[in-house]
Chains A and B, each alone.
Chain A
């Protein structure tokens, strides 16, 4: 359930943008750009995988290929031995923002995942259960624009989970949240993961997110993306990199790897 094998994955695309300024490293129009080069990764079922990397390195492209929104140039992604090539409700993508349909209420958005459930009573119960789980009871009839950023992310999480997917694919799910909401959401996602045990792929810019949440941390290099580090983290939750010496060491190593010599 949710075991992921990425084999020799390559992604190239032809640059379409017209050249505005030439600073030497921006690709020219018509030029082929390699975003992912010969990527090999394996994630165990039920793992929370945190993917870090410099911006523009192709993290989101990797997620989009795994979700089936984008096709690789060569190579393949296997889920439990079957090739993944098109989007399916088994693997739900959670967006940075705007993932909820703005013309639907929280209830209607959550309902999308189980809209084919025949028994209306059962359907209603399940929707309510997941809305309560993300602590949005009382907000069922609110539209996304009436919710705070954190509540929108939680509603989207409920929509993703209600379908009972095998895997969640989260593209910087905490970006744009204020500090406290970020902390709380992180804790909620960790608890949700411990409770439900789903495979989660999560792209983040925040090293502490990866160290606190991840069962595995993957660091990609700059374009074309290759695996710089693939480390399993076997530390119990809750974690604090400030007090655990091994985490602290790893943290400094990652900072150095990403080109920052002084970890803050």
Chain B
């Protein structure tokens, strides 16, 4: 809180004495006025909802595909040898490099943006899950065969609980990446969202709106991380470590 108010004061002072006009470098006061204005006319809500919708859709898609695929890859060596090279080739390609292709494939609208977010979270989740499954202590699988576990029991009683901590961490990291990517994707492919708001305001030379966009992006990023931190409680509940941290 102290750091927050300190940086606000510095921002105000720089804006005041730098000699730049309010049009070029608005201070926190001016941005606050614009913020209230944009909230009042509904623009901000509309753009935030659009961005959050895309992130949620892309992120869920990445979870639904990436985590089960990672489980399979972690358990099956043959599959890993077959698919891993492709994954590690595709992984370092920035989702932004997919923008031209995704626009060609999915046109203009939500779909290309969702696809980009999916790409940005899918690979981290897939790789993290694969590694998590591979690092399960082999003793637990021995216990499973010793006590005659079915495949399903091995999955629900060993693989899922054993990998929850690593997967929760991966989810937390990849939602941040997804949120970074949505803003970039919206600057190109669509007509709504916080990224579009920033781009559109730049074109209109409204730097106060640009800054409102940046502030809101930061705030929502904080919120997303807060939600993801609540997921850690699932981990604690599963391992009985609640309260011991």
Contact A103/B162 with A87-B146, A89-B147 known, Cβ cut-off 8 Å: yes
A93 touches B240 (CB 8 A): no
Within 8 A of A (CB), among B125-179: 137, 139-140, 142-143, 145-148, 157-158, 161-162, 164
Structural contact, B238 and A103, CB atoms closer than 8 A:
yes
Q: Determine whether B20 belongs to the interface, using a CB cutoff of 8 Å to chain A.
A: no
How far, in angstroms, from A120 to B159 measured CA to CA in the complex?
26
A113 within 8 A of B: yes
Which one, A41-49, A94-102, A123-131, A225-233, is touching chain B? A94-102
**B226 adjacent to chain A (CB < 8 Å):** no
State the CA gap A88–B144 with chains docked (Å). 10
B239 touches A102 (CB 8 A): yes
Q: Which residues of A contact B140 (CB under 8 A)?
A: 101
Which residues on A sit within 8 Å (CB–CB) of B148?
A: 88-89
**Are B240 and A112 in contact, CB atoms less than 8 angstroms apart?**
no
Pick from B142, B147, B238, B239: contact of A112, CB below 8 A.
B147
A residues in contact with B18, CB < 8 Å = none
A10 at the interface (CB under 8 A from B): no
- Once A98-B137, A98-B139, A146-B240 are accepted as A-B contacts, the answer to whether A103 and B161 lie under 8 Å apart by CB is yes
Query: B residues within 8 A CB of A88?
Result: 146, 148
Residue contact A113 to B147, C-beta cutoff 8 Å: yes
Would you call the interface of chain A mostly helix, strand, loop, or mixed? Answer: loop
Q: How large is the interface on A (under 10, 10 to 19, 20 to 34, 35 or more residues)?
A: 20 to 34
**Most chain B beta-carbon neighbours within 10 Å: one of A87, A103, A105:** A103
A242 at the interface (CB under 8 A from B): no
Residue from A95, A105, A142, A145 in contact with B241 in the complex, judged by beta carbons closer than 8 Å: A145
Chain A residues with CB under 8 A of B241: 143, 145
Decide if A67 is an interface residue (CB 8 Å cutoff): yes
Q: How far is the CB of B164 from the nearest CB of chain A, in Å?
A: 8
B142 is contacted by which of A93, A102, A143 (Cβ under 8 Å)?
Answer: A93
**Whole-angstrom distance from the CB of A173 to the nearest CB of chain B?**
14
Check if A13 is an interface residue, CB within 8 A of chain B. Answer: no
**Cβ–Cβ < 8 Å partners of A256 in chain B:** none
Chain B residues lying within 8 Å of A101, measured Cβ to Cβ, are: 140, 143, 157-158, 161
Tell me how many residue pairs across A and B have CB atoms closer than 8 Å. 52
Chain B residues positioned under 8 Å from A68 (CB to CB): 145
Check A103–B143 contact: CB distance below 8 A.
Answer: no
Q: Which of B139, B146, B164 contacts A89 (CB 8 A)?
A: B146
Q: Tell me whether A67 and B240 are in contact (CB under 8 A).
A: no
> Contact: A143 with B139, CB < 8 Å?
no
Is A163's CB under 8 angstroms from B147's CB?
yes
* Least CB distance, B145 to chain A, in whole angstroms: 4
Select the residue from B140, B143, B146, B148 with max chain A CB neighbours within 10 A.
Answer: B146
A255 within 8 A of B: no
Q: Which residues B204-245 have CB closer than 8 A to chain A?
A: 238-241, 244
Q: In the complex, what distance in Å separates the CA atom of A143 from the CA atom of B243? A: 13
Tell me if B143 and A69 are in contact (CB < 8 A).
no
Asked if A143 and B239 make an inter-chain contact with CB atoms under 8 angstroms apart, the answer reads yes
Flag whether A51 is at the interface (Cβ < 8 A).
Answer: no
Name B residues whose Cβ lies closer than 8 Å to a Cβ of A: 137, 139-140, 142-143, 145-148, 157-158, 161-162, 164, 238-241, 244
Interface residues of chain A, those whose CB is within 8 Å of chain B, are: 67-69, 86-89, 91-93, 95, 98-99, 101-105, 112-113, 142-143, 145-146, 163
Q: Can you list 12 A-B contacts (CB < 8 A)? A: A68-B145, A87-B145, A89-B146, A95-B139, A101-B161, A103-B161, A103-B238, A103-B239, A104-B157, A105-B240, A143-B239, A145-B240
